[in-house]
Structure 1
């Protein structure tokens, strides 16, 4: 029997729409946690429904406008502005900042609150308007994968840490007798731009990268962006970088690394287990390390991937507290550690990291510690925390198209990214106009920029 919101009588039903990704049985551990939560709190039922992460904003908006919004939804990190802009059928924001609903409590229904235990990079990324808006469920960042068998053959003794060191290593690979045609690959993908700029503490948007207020202006010609573009172009012009010819081609770049057509690959921390198995099957050694950075700076930030749990506003207090307690339970140190081991999601709390250390997991699986250590490279500035993009799909498309023109058509970087800024600004303006306007929204606001 459904909960009666008007009388606040049990059982209270927590409806959760959670992001699905192309990994087998991805949400099964969460479903198990839901069953455990129900046993510990029999007055609650937790209904979990998976939705492909790119489709989730549209599905949640549909449910909200139909008057049947979920209690909790997990939005991909790049869709955070869309979560903020999702409204109910009477025009109110669907979600409310989680920190305000916890209101300083240290436990809810006996479940310890984990907000103060979130790793600094998570706290920074999901802080909007001065308070934590959502709580991470899944977490990832960008790392460097290196074929160290090939690196040793080229006489390189250390995995590159900076852009200059990677350039030098690529030159050594090029001199290797019988070596690959190219040395390094990564996709033309907006996520990698975000990572490079966050490393340097740069900004994409006004209003503190869209964190102190909604962004209204975008700039793709900053010194931080252009330094990355120029370095990338140099690798490409020297024939060291492999461009597979398609935007966001994670499959193609992964295949090139697996086939040893390159020595280096930029990739997600979610790929650690997969790349380890690929190397074993291919008969070569692989290392996992922090993504190389501009040697002129000390890294101060990272791209943040994964998704976070957003809480609906206006809930009956009993239902609200049940949902908050469930969110804390999912992120308890033990459950956070098990979630990491199940699918490679980087631990989102220091408590989960401590459990994994105490169990000896990181000692046995040192590659999995790399993402955690890299995420500690943050100074908490707006640039280090990354942007909250309005119109993320249009902005990221403008970035990727500009870079492709630089790589394939010899476009002059500053001129091409000046044009891309105008294209991105048009996308940002269109998004803000439709979300802030009083009429029906153009459905393009629901497109997720990955």
Structure 2
């Protein structure tokens, strides 16, 4: 147990930090630091020590820390890394949040919110034993944004919702009318929405993934749709993989009619559109009309609780997690950054306060996540070398679009590359140590 000179118990919480500001221009983690100070005033026996860390480096920094944190925020795709990180005794670094709560309805007077989490979020972070492994904090999904002025000029009155509708709309609007970043995160969304999985053992959720598949029918359907749009001159590629800002700017400048981007970007895109003189509409990520919709996996960060901490520090950490996610604070985090409200009660509070009446586009992320079926596909893959697998998918898609690679052959090669990464990762985990590959991406 760590204490301050005046005897307060120190709870060390590491949050993923991002180069974003709040809507009112403050540093990304300022609202969290405010909550930590409030919690300390309400619980004077505790000091919540908040530090920010670049999200791609979180797993590496936790594993190498001489004194690991009591709580650490990992990106959604890094859940397997969190599960496989071991402490100096060769035991798991983290424990299940739900197990630590142990059925309590409140901790240090703070009401437990786990049963109020949005179902898609619980499903995303639930382990094989049915326990909630980590507590979701910053939540996003991917949405379609449309320049409604350009759509109306082409005789289109509603935002397209399917691949066929998008293709037809783009044909009416003209060349380069849709854009999105070539990135593995978005590819995951497109495949998962069709019910496609990336790995055996229930997408890596019923046990450690041993086999990966990047050339599934769902993947090839997505790649073929992208390829046709590109060949017809309708898809605008900036020429750079993962070029989120370039795609944003293409849409904001009116060069494209559609962009697929994070739900967190809704505020910025809508306000930018107004500043440029056009209306921005927001809808779900386009879906394959020939496949039943499964769901879009959750993106963002969740908070993992260290296993080997004393009961007093543990309860301080758990109480702070519940405080962060109580209705008032979860709603405030949404209002600060546009992340999906993590609980149903926070969503209702925002509605009662008139927030969604004033900002209706901020409901789209929640609505999309609520429409999923809870399947392994909708919950997304849990794979150790997720950064490398994403890179393999990204490069393969670019090769198909730009270099005219044959989709089935190129994604079979990507599967082989990803399988080698997975085999190496799993072999690294066969001995009691933290895996050497801890990249997040």
TM-score range, shorter chain: over 0.9
| Structure 1 pair 441–292 and aligned structure 2 pair: CA distance change class (3 A) | closer
Note the alpha carbon deviations across 1:23-43, whole angstroms, 9 max, x for none.
131111111111111111111
Partner-residue secondary structure (3-state), 2:402: helix
| Structure 1 pair 440–100 and aligned structure 2 pair: CA distance change class (3 A) | closer
Note the alpha carbon deviations across 1:175-219, whole angstroms, 9 max, x for none.
xxxxxx411000111111111122122210111011111111100
Please give the alpha-carbon distance, in whole angstroms, between the structure 1 residues aligned to 2:84 and 2:285. Answer: 32
Q: Which residue of 1 aligns with 2:51?
A: 49
Q: Are 1:447 and 2:439 matched, yes or no? A: yes
1:326 pairs with one of 320, 327, 347: 320
Please give the alpha-carbon distance, in whole angstroms, between the structure 2 residues aligned to 1:344 and 1:440. Answer: 34
Partner-residue secondary structure (3-state), 1:116: helix
Matched-pair contact (CA < 8 Å) for 1:120–1:378: no
Q: Which residue of 2 aligns with 1:58?
A: 60
Q: Which residue of 2 aligns with 1:14?
A: 11
Please give the alpha-carbon distance, in whole angstroms, between the structure 2 residues aligned to 1:50 and 1:106. Answer: 30
| Structure 1 pair 156–439 and aligned structure 2 pair: CA distance change class (3 A) | closer
Please give the alpha-carbon distance, in whole angstroms, between the structure 1 residues aligned to 2:222 and 2:389. Answer: 17
Q: Are 1:168 and 2:157 matched, yes or no? A: no
Matched-pair contact (CA < 8 Å) for 2:120–2:369: yes
Matched-pair contact (CA < 8 Å) for 1:16–1:48: yes
Q: Which residue of 2 aligns with 1:177?
A: none
Please give the alpha-carbon distance, in whole angstroms, between the structure 2 residues aligned to 1:370 and 1:152. Answer: 21
Please give the alpha-carbon distance, in whole angstroms, between the structure 1 residues aligned to 2:139 and 2:358. Answer: 21
- How far off is 1:273 after superposition? 1.1
| RMSD of aligned residue pairs (Cα, Å) | 1.5
Partner-residue secondary structure (3-state), 1:61: helix
- How far off is 1:438 after superposition? 4.9
- How far off is 1:85 after superposition? 1.5
Note the alpha carbon deviations across 1:82-129, whole angstroms, 9 max, x for none.
111112122211111111111111111111111111111101110122
Q: Are 1:118 and 2:117 matched, yes or no? A: yes
Q: Are 1:213 and 2:197 matched, yes or no? A: no
Q: Are 1:249 and 2:243 matched, yes or no? A: yes
Q: Are 1:282 and 2:279 matched, yes or no? A: no
1:413 pairs with one of 398, 407, 412: 407
Partner-residue secondary structure (3-state), 1:187: coil
Partner-residue secondary structure (3-state), 2:422: helix
| Structure 1 pair 438–323 and aligned structure 2 pair: CA distance change class (3 A) | closer
Partner-residue secondary structure (3-state), 2:377: coil
Please give the alpha-carbon distance, in whole angstroms, between the structure 1 residues aligned to 2:44 and 2:56. Answer: 33
Please give the alpha-carbon distance, in whole angstroms, between the structure 2 residues aligned to 1:440 and 1:55. Answer: 15
- For structure 2, list consecutive stretches of 5 or more residues without a partner in the other structure: 22-26
Q: Which residue of 1 aligns with 2:330?
A: 336
Q: Which residue of 2 aligns with 1:88?
A: 87
Partner-residue secondary structure (3-state), 1:139: strand
Q: Which runs of 4+ in 1 moved over 4 A?
A: 438-441
Q: Which residue of 1 aligns with 2:24?
A: none
Q: Which residue of 1 aligns with 2:368?
A: 374
Q: How do residues 293-372 of structure 1 correspond to structure 2 at under 5 angstroms?
A: 293-372=287-366
| Structure 1 pair 343–148 and aligned structure 2 pair: CA distance change class (3 A) | same
- How far off is 1:439 after superposition? 6.8
Matched-pair contact (CA < 8 Å) for 1:146–1:265: yes
Partner-residue secondary structure (3-state), 1:17: strand
Q: Which residue of 1 aligns with 2:156?
A: 156
Larger deviation: 297-306 or 417-426?
A: 297-306
Q: How do residues 177-192 of structure 1 correspond to structure 2 at under 5 angstroms?
A: 181-192=175-186
- How far off is 1:2 after superposition? 3.5
Q: How do residues 123-134 of structure 1 correspond to structure 2 at under 5 angstroms?
A: 123-129=122-128, 130-134=130-134
Please give the alpha-carbon distance, in whole angstroms, between the structure 2 residues aligned to 1:379 and 1:439. Answer: 36
Note the alpha carbon deviations across 1:135-172, whole angstroms, 9 max, x for none.
01100000001001001111112110111100100000
Q: How do residues 415-434 of structure 1 correspond to structure 2 at under 5 angstroms?
A: 415-434=409-428
Matched-pair contact (CA < 8 Å) for 1:192–1:303: no
TM-score relative to the length of structure 1: 0.94
Note the alpha carbon deviations across 1:292-333, whole angstroms, 9 max, x for none.
101123422113111000000022111111111100000001
Please give the alpha-carbon distance, in whole angstroms, between the structure 2 residues aligned to 1:12 and 1:247. Answer: 45
Q: Which residue of 1 aligns with 2:265?
A: 271
2:189 pairs with one of 195, 199, 217: 195
TM-score relative to the length of structure 2: 0.96
